[in-house]
Amino acid sequence: MSAAKSTIKDVAELAGCGIATVSRVLNSSGPTSVETRERVLAAARMLGFQFNEVGRSLKNQRSKTIGVLVPSLSNPVFADAVQGIQQTASASGYNVILTCANYDEKTEEEAVTTLLAKQVDGVVLTVSKPDNSRALQLLDDQRVPHCLIFNQPIEAQRAAVGVDNFAAASLVARKLVELGHFNAAFVAVQFAQSDRSADRYVGFSEYYETCEHPRPHLIEVDYAPGDLEIALFNLFEKSPQTTALFASNDMLALGCVRALRALGKSVPNDISVVGFDGIAVADLVSPTLATVSTPCHDMGSKATQLLISAFQEDGALPTGTISLPFEFRSGESLGPAKSKNADGRGATRPSALSATPFVTKYIK
Amino acid sequence: MSAAKSTIKDVAELAGCGIATVSRVLNSSGPTSVETRERVLAAARMLGFQFNEVGRSLKNQRSKTIGVLVPSLSNPVFADAVQGIQQTASASGYNVILTCANYDEKTEEEAVTTLLAKQVDGVVLTVSKPDNSRALQLLDDQRVPHCLIFNQPIEAQRAAVGVDNFAAASLVARKLVELGHFNAAFVAVQFAQSDRSADRYVGFSEYYETCEHPRPHLIEVDYAPGDLEIALFNLFEKSPQTTALFASNDMLALGCVRALRALGKSVPNDISVVGFDGIAVADLVSPTLATVSTPCHDMGSKATQLLISAFQEDGALPTGTISLPFEFRSGESLGPAKSKNADGRGATRPSALSATPFVTKYIK
DNA sequence: GTGAATTATGGAAACGTTTCCAATAATTCC
DNA sequence: GGAATTATTGGAAACGTTTCCATAATTCAC
């Protein structure tokens, strides 16, 4: 039936009417006699007519497209969120243009620029530095509705949906302390690149301080293979009383479990490990990984809903962060602290600790 | 500096020239005096002018946009491929519209329809049934260049890039047999949904048959939790001599390792497990997972390159499948078969085997 | 049967571009 | 100095749509 692309003009010609009429029929926007209506419909069907959305966008001044900017898709957390965005958008007749910035601010800015050039109706994004982002500035300037995900901007002017990283990390700390882990460490990759890691570290360490336990070490590692093992080895040299690790994400947590094994430590008998994010594999590996499961999919979904309802006239984006619920998921990587750790408690803080890079600047 | 969107017309006005001149300057398409050139450039900078790509697309009849259709982003394999597509596209000034079909043919068709409506210049996609796909038919009808990834269509007319699943599975079989695993099983999820699983099963079992070992069982499981354990339990009831499992993807392989533990079997001492895909976590878990690592990222990348070079005039898509190299990656989940299995070898095939759903229809 | 109200219809402008083409200005040549 | 050539330039059409507006056709009330 259909061959190449046909336009509204072709349909009009075949139906023997004007293009205005075709538009009215196909959009049900305006009066049409039932008779012409049928002729138009028949003609459209015969030609396999589909609207050219580019022409439509130009005229309507809205593209029915949502721009998405995430750091990467390798991290399942973002992949899930994007999936949520895509589904929700698609359910409302919107398409998604996907861009990735690889944690690079310059790239973020460029990506937003091209999204704007494509006339996206709104943007869902995660940026490196939500409180000082050229990309966000661009969106503001052009008055394009946008909603952050994962990020928790401090200036609460901006729409955002995420989880309360502070509270979640605090909960992890509580769970650990309840099990007798008074000496813990926080392990992060690219700590400087991620405002989320920072929030988690603060929530984690503040809980420990409140309980008057030693503040957890902050261990920052590269993705370089072997780096993690060395870092952990050093940790145990300096703080042999450490009984628990809290990793800033699940992949890293898995890496920790593996590195600990390599160092001759048993998980969870010698050391417990807790991750963050709640990716699917956490339940598939052995030991299963204790983690905080976060609703990544829903985050994307929710942000998209907000955006779309803001598109309806008189709709406005809520200002401020919406926090979605998280859930602590225990797992085999988490056990009670060994009794000897009771000794560790209250031990004078070793002087070597000062060599460990505490990030006081992030403390609220 | 910039406020709201400005158009080429605004620039022309400010620069005191016609819009045609502005277009020529900004696109370097046509002669301009150095003097007006500067005036235009200054005006554009002052207004923060950015092209409206919708207007451009309409006039140029190409959108600088590539459509992408994958089953899902939850599978890291597809996430990686999409990332490859996105990067490569972006490097050539193309954007990516992402759609997901959740393995549903109807959704695939709809997705392609909307991609076509958006006037994408080309499509990179993975479909459920590449040899009988309404979605692909649509692309053919409209003469939109497209390239399959992961799929290996039988009718070799279509551009596609993937790995040779048959050969890869055959290699796995060889490795297993070399280690003395003469009785193996193939475990798949959604076997019917994935042409890739089928190819792998065939490659796997043909190798065994060639060596005159018993044909591996085919075990098809749901995602339902517990299902895997039951299926494996049944397998060992029927075929206690089984010493190796080949899972159709890594996530499933991890699930197998876990289920085997639950059944009291040790990996790899009692049973070896090999996965497929080579996802990142395979190296992070313990035991590390033996797997076939496939270049998902490159697949996306390559497909996109093909597409983009086909866009240049006189460029045409290569017809047929391009196979990218894969690599067998050994891991701790794979060990030599226990000696008792030597007995298993050559044992008469138990009659109970007939109850196992061999998929003879897929045999080439 | 006439005027008024109602209904259906198509022409044309507009959205932001690119590009053909004609027109103007600048240069060269003899 | 005038004609021929060349270098710049802007008007206008076109891409595929939507929608305003005016027209034409129908219906209605009297």
Among candidate residues B317, B293, B289, B314, the one with its CA nearest the CA of residue B304: B317
- Check B74 against A80: CB less than 8 A apart: yes
- Check A114 against B95: CB less than 8 A apart: yes
* Preceding amide of B287 cis, omega within 30: yes
Q: Tens digits of per-residue pLDDT, A303-337?
A: 999 999 999 877 789 999 999 999 999 999 999 99
CA geometry: angle A158, A164, A166, nearest 5 deg: 115
Q: Tens digits of per-residue pLDDT, B212-268?
A: 999 999 999 877 667 889 999 999 999 999 999 999 999 999 999 999 998 999 999
The nucleotide closest to B23 (CA, C1' atoms): C18
CA geometry: angle A335, A341, A347, nearest 5 deg: 145
Assign B9 a pLDDT band (cuts: 50, 70, 90): very high
Q: In A, residues 173-202, which contact B (CB 8 Å cutoff)? A: none
Q: How distant, in Å, are the alpha carbons of A138, A196, A310, A362, B99 from that of A154?
A: 18, 12, 22, 12, 33
Taking the Cβ of residue A87 and every Cβ of chain B, the question of whether any pair is shorter than 8 Å is answered with: yes
d(CA B201, CA B170): 9
Positive or negative: CA dihedral B41, B45, B48, B50: positive
DSSP letter string, A321-352: EEEPP-EEE--TT--PPPTTHHHHTTPPPPGG
Q: Tens digits of per-residue pLDDT, A236-261?
A: 999 999 999 999 999 999 999 999 99
Among candidate residues A4, A158, A41, A348, the one with its CA nearest the CA of residue B143: A4
CA geometry: angle B126, B127, B128, nearest 5 deg: 135
Gap from B38 CA to D6 C1', Å: 22
Assign A97 a pLDDT band (cuts: 50, 70, 90): very high
Q: How distant, in Å, are the alpha carbons of A128, B64, B194 from that of B280?
A: 23, 32, 22
Which one is predicted more confidently, A315 or A58? A58
pLDDT of residue A3: 62
pLDDT of residue B175: 97
**Residue numbers in A 19-58, CB below 7 Å of strand C:** 19-21, 24, 30-33, 35-37, 58
Q: By three-state DSSP, how is residue A321 classified?
A: strand
d(CA A203, CA A212): 14
CA A235 to chain centre: 30
| Token output for B36 | 């007006």
Neighboring chain B residues of A111 at a CB cutoff of 8 Å: 90
Neighboring chain A residues of B3 at a CB cutoff of 8 Å: 141
* Mean pLDDT in residue range A52-74: 97
Which one is predicted more confidently, B223 or B97? B97
Assign B349 a pLDDT band (cuts: 50, 70, 90): very low
pLDDT of residue A346: 32
Out of A121-125, A189-193, B127-131, B254-258, pick the least confident: A189-193
Where on the phi/psi map is residue A313: left (φ > 0), alpha (ψ -120 to 50), or beta? beta
A225: number of Cβ within 10 Å? 9
pLDDT of residue B189: 85
The residue type of B240 is: P
pLDDT of residue B233: 93
Q: In B, residues 287-326, which contact A (CB 8 Å cutoff)? A: 288
pLDDT of residue A226: 79
Q: Which of A57, A100, A285 lies closest to B54 in CB terms?
A: A57
Out of A232-236, B18-22, B52-56, B220-224, pick the least confident: B220-224
Q: Are B307 and B145 in contact (CB under 8 A)?
A: yes
For tokens 């229809």, the residue is B361
State the best of B50, B60, B95, B223 to mutate against chain A, taking most chain A CBs within 10 Å: B95
Q: Considering chain B, what is the average pLDDT of its residues?
A: 89
Taking the Cβ of residue B224 and every Cβ of chain A, the question of whether any pair is shorter than 8 Å is answered with: no
